Amino acid sequence: MDSIKRRRPRSPSPAIYKLDDEDGSYEPYVPIAQRRQEKLARLSSLGVNGEKLNVKKLQEELDEREDAQREEEIRREKARKERTLLLEAQEVHSRKAAEDSKKTANEKAEEADAEILEAIKSRRKLASDMELAKGIQYMEPLKTSWRPPRYIRERKPEEDNRLREKYHILVEGDDIPPPIEHFSDMKIPEPIVEHLRSKRIVNPTPIQLQGIPVAFSGRDIIGIAFTGSGKTLAFCLPLIMMALEEEMKLPFIRGEGPVGIILCPSRELANQTYENVVTWCAALAKDAKYPPLNALLCIGGISMNDQSHVLSKGLHIVVATPGRLIDMLEKKRFTFNNCKYLCMDEADRMIDLGFEDDVRTIMSFFKNQRQTLLFSATMPKKIQDFARESLIKPVLVNVGRAGAANLDVLQVVEYVKQEAKMVYLLECLQKTPPPVIIFSENKNEVDDIQEYLLLKGVEAVAIHGSKSQEERQYAIKSFKSGAKDVMVASGVASKGLDFNDIQHVIIFSMPKEIEDYVHQIGRTGRSGKTGIATTFVNMNTSEQTLLDLKYLLIEAGQKVPPFLSTIDDPRAAQGNSLTGCPVCGGLGHGISNCPKLEDAQRRQMASHRTVDAEGGY
């Protein structure tokens, strides 16, 4: 009985059965009585006298030996199985590694892109923290009293579409207001139309003929059109009209207003837009029928006390850079209690990671529903999608591909060795008469170029983020007035600045982001005139930037120099899709190599509430 208790079961466990069964080594069960008989027979065959020996003891010894044998078999079997599993795991692993290495060729990049896009998607909505906290979500656009003339209202939708096709305007959104081909049909006050005519602004440009009716209707808008195509008028005029209507209903007194704000990424651009607003308001007020409208320039680097006379009256329009505007709002120099118009010029720049939080803070000062307008020449798909989520029934008005170069600019790309650049620059300046702008990414280089040109007797001014506000203003003023022939500039002057008839833009050092290039060459070829842009590249220019440039030249139907055409797109070799980067709009790379993403991450790490190097604050 004892021995039976200690003995291990001879018959294998069901699990082992199963395994044995699987590989065909199944042993049939032998009853205990039969086994005892067999054992005794074996003992007697060995010549052992069963009566003399303690049979029970012998039997136990034999059982133990058999048990040990059986255990050894099970152990070996287990080891064999484990080894097989290990081998299998190794095989799976190496199969996966092989698949992964195959993926590099086609899917890996897309997988990585999807991951980055997912991360970008998780960015918070652009709505202010206050709106988000209160859970406020406006569903309907702002109501305005403006209506298109009856004959346009009665036009068939197909006719509207025909007009859009004629002007290469793409639209997206619900209930899109009709395009209007003439200023006179937009119900703009006659003194303004008259003033525009005096400036040879007779017919609206495509972005204006669709953008203005959309904005006049109170709709949120994303307006994308190439550099120099008249976006400023498209977003200033609706604000002037809104302010006019409010003022005429009930005149503003001290402490009231503004009705709306225009946000710009640089002081110079804000200043230029402010001057436009003031000119158009003054043109309006020339007719005694219309009241004067007050505008305030709110930028870093200037004393706000100089404008105290504006603050002592009712305030209609504020043109600002984000930092100074937040400062003024926090100090309660004015409020947004009645503000219902927020426009962002160069909006992609405003809402990319650098200014995103500032924009949110500004939005949190609004007390009521607002109309939001975003305009730019470059607006990568991801920024469009992100912005769209934060707008109310927005209308997208797109003239040409977002980020495409202005076709009125002749783009010349030249290979110039680093050490030869300065000398070649002088030669290059002979291509056209002045005025000429030279762009460099590096502030020290801007200073060096100006110094060199001055030494060579060229009347040159320089502007970059480290110059004082006076120096910057002097540079812009003297260049605009024609007193100086050449302006050497860092990126600060590249976005939105509208100089008279620039003949030639020279890009001394190619920017990493192709969007910056598009803005820089866009300082020429404005308002229907043509211009030249010469860009120096060399081995310091990254291959990816060169690829972006190559595709942009091809898209614009420009000549591609041999050293650019020989650069192959690695994505093509890997069989990857050649669609443009959704983050920066560059056509020569995917999202995983986006230079803007790197920059954005860098900027996010730096505290952007400190003085903006480009002078935004």
Ligand X SMILES: Nc1ncnc2c1ncn2[C@@H]1O[C@H](COP(=O)(O)OP(=O)(O)OP(=O)(O)O)[C@@H](O)[C@H]1O
Residues in contact with ligand X by the rule CB under 6 A: 201, 204-205, 208, 225, 227-233, 377, 496, 498, 522, 526-527
Residue 279 or 466 with smaller CB distance to ligand X: 279
Question: Closest approach of Cβ 299 to ligand X, in Å?
Answer: 17
Question: Closest approach of Cβ 167 to ligand X, in Å?
Answer: 12
Q: Compute the Cα dihedral for 467, 469, 472, 478 and give only its sign.
A: negative
Question: Closest approach of Cβ 189 to ligand X, in Å?
Answer: 17
Residue 183 or 252 with smaller CB distance to ligand X: 183
Residue 129 or 275 with smaller CB distance to ligand X: 275
Helix (H, G, I), strand (E, B) or coil at 246: helix
Residue 279 or 604 with smaller CB distance to ligand X: 279
* Residue found by looking up tokens 């022939």 in the block: 485
Radius of gyration of the chain (CA): 38
Residue 130 or 201 with smaller CB distance to ligand X: 201
- Alpha carbon dihedral 424, 425, 429, 430, in 10-degree steps, equals -10
What is the rounded distance in angstroms from the CA atom of residue 299 to the CA atom of residue 263? 10
Residue 232 or 390 with smaller CB distance to ligand X: 232
Residue 233 or 587 with smaller CB distance to ligand X: 233
Question: Closest approach of Cβ 504 to ligand X, in Å?
Answer: 16
Residue 40 or 193 with smaller CB distance to ligand X: 193
How many degrees, rounded to 5, is the angle at CA 268 between CA 304 and CA 257? 45
Q: Mention every residue, 6+ apart, whose C-beta is less than 8 A from residue 356.
A: 123, 126
Question: Closest approach of Cβ 349 to ligand X, in Å?
Answer: 11
Residue 247 or 268 with smaller CB distance to ligand X: 268
Question: Closest approach of Cβ 211 to ligand X, in Å?
Answer: 10
Burial of 460 (0-12, 13-18, 19+ CB in 10 A): buried
Structure tokens at 205: 């440009």
CA distances, 228 to each of 209, 213, 526, 573 (Å)? 15, 20, 4, 37
Backbone φ, ψ for residue 458 (5° rounding): -90, 130
Question: Closest approach of Cβ 187 to ligand X, in Å?
Answer: 17
What is the rounded distance in angstroms from the CA atom of residue 404 to the CA atom of residue 419? 31
Beta strands 460-463 and 260-263 are: unpaired
Question: Closest approach of Cβ 580 to ligand X, in Å?
Answer: 19
- Alpha carbon dihedral 580, 586, 592, 593, in 10-degree steps, equals 140
- Alpha carbon dihedral 183, 189, 193, 198, in 10-degree steps, equals 180
Beta strands 295-298 and 436-439 are: unpaired
What is the rounded distance in angstroms from the CA atom of residue 524 to the CA atom of residue 527? 9
Residue 12 or 403 with smaller CB distance to ligand X: 403
Residue 169 or 311 with smaller CB distance to ligand X: 169
CB of 249 closer than 8 Å to CB of 213: no
- Alpha carbon dihedral 462, 464, 467, 472, in 10-degree steps, equals 60
Q: Which of 446, 526, 487, 503 is nearest to 226 (CA)?
A: 526
Question: Closest approach of Cβ 377 to ligand X, in Å?
Answer: 4
Q: What percent of the chain is helix, strand and coil (3-state, nearest 5)?
A: 50, 10, 40
Q: What is the 3-state secondary structure (H, E, C) of 100-123?
A: HHHHHHHCHHHHHHHHHHHHHHCC
Question: Closest approach of Cβ 210 to ligand X, in Å?
Answer: 13
Question: Closest approach of Cβ 298 to ligand X, in Å?
Answer: 19
Residue 227 or 294 with smaller CB distance to ligand X: 227
Residue 220 or 498 with smaller CB distance to ligand X: 498
Question: Closest approach of Cβ 317 to ligand X, in Å?
Answer: 16
Beta strands 395-399 and 169-172 are: antiparallel
Q: What is the rounded end-to-end Cα distance, in angstroms, of the chain?
A: 95
Helix (H) or strand (E) holding 376: strand 371-376
Question: Closest approach of Cβ 296 to ligand X, in Å?
Answer: 21
